[in-house]
Copies of this chain bind each other. A is one copy, B any other.
């Protein structure tokens, strides 16, 4: 028996052998010709994965939280008004960060956990007031709620707000067309659908975002996040001219370049379709097993993860049984319902077999936790979607 568990949490995810190999290869100098070419390629490929041909990519050592911090620190000046389309934990966090840099923040919240604010509510808020910037959490990792980024971004752009998308649990999995959808800045972290171990903050800024940055009057109050320092580095490496600000995380950037190559090899449209199919299979299995989900309706649900409520009589102990069956899932994260649900990540390189293994382990776990159902019910439902 293989001594290997399958990691199906919403990040970090399972990485491909090629990505892991790049991580463990001897480190080269950050100014060696080979690494300069690698970093330059990664920047070019990032633009393609974000579907933002005119964007400025930033690849910086840090977590996804740093990516949010970079967006706020560079775009917000004291006294600015910002609107947060809030779908949970990470909307609250973006509000906190924006306030740190001097913004006055208005939240448009969903009526209940698992829901997203309506386009009408957001439009009304945007019309009430002139906002410099609005933020949208594409997928709230804490609840699996997915927002209508296309519709929301169109509203923001139409009413003159810079549109910032927190795509941490979405980019390279969930459909997102940064330039076509008028998104001024999108960000993510390496360990989600991008498929690289944690440690990289990834940001692509469009021309309006860069212009707002260039026009700012107040200095950027965060040194490490400051685009004045990073822009010459990114432009330099992309022109195959190394420049120094901080030592780039060589191994992570090589792994990023490998993963971006694999992503583009699959193709963005095929990748979006695969994520939709795997997600539908998981959600069909969950429904067939009689479990409800946190998102209130299918159109509010992510394709990168699934967040089922435990059925009556079952609690977090179930995740231990699922792990014994070889699959690692995540517990709840939203403070109000933390103990009532769990989370299944299915993004990046996840395959149909991973989905079946996961559903199989969930069935075992539920059964061991005392929940009654006909074994194979979930698997059959998943397989019907996967074979359709």
When all copies of this chain in the complex are counted, the total is: 2
A362 within 8 Å of B (CB atoms): no
In the complex, the answer to whether B61 meets A197 with C-beta atoms within 8 Å is: no
A244 within 8 Å of B (CB atoms): yes
Residues of chain B within 8 A of A222, CB atoms compared: 69, 73, 221-225
A376 within 8 Å of B (CB atoms): no
* Interchain residue pairs with CB less than 8 A apart (19): A4-B26, A12-B247, A14-B26, A20-B25, A20-B26, A24-B24, A29-B330, A31-B330, A61-B62, A62-B66, A62-B224, A69-B222, A72-B223, A197-B250, A197-B252, A198-B250, A199-B249, A221-B221, A252-B252
**Which of these, B101, B249, B328, B330, contacts A197 with CB under 8 Å?**
B249
A63 within 8 Å of B (CB atoms): yes
Q: How far is the CB of A192 from chain B (nearest CB, A)?
A: 9
Q: How far is the CA of A252 from the CA of B69 in the complex (A)?
A: 22
Residues of chain B within 8 A of A224, CB atoms compared: 62, 65-66, 69, 222, 224-225
Given A26-B4, A27-B7: A12 and B221 interface contact (C-beta under 8 Å): no
Residues of chain B within 8 A of A9, CB atoms compared: 29
Q: How far is the CA of A29 from the CA of B223 in the complex (A)?
A: 31
**Which of these, B7, B69, B100, B246, contacts A64 with CB under 8 Å?**
B246
Nearest B residue (CB) for A102: B221
Residues of chain B within 8 A of A72, CB atoms compared: 223
Q: How far is the CB of A60 from chain B (nearest CB, A)?
A: 8
Contact with B along A8-41 (1 / 0, CB 8 A): 0101111100001111111111111000000000
Given A61-B61, A222-B224: A251 and B26 interface contact (C-beta under 8 Å): no
Residues of chain B within 8 A of A225, CB atoms compared: 222, 224
In the complex, the answer to whether A250 meets B28 with C-beta atoms within 8 Å is: no
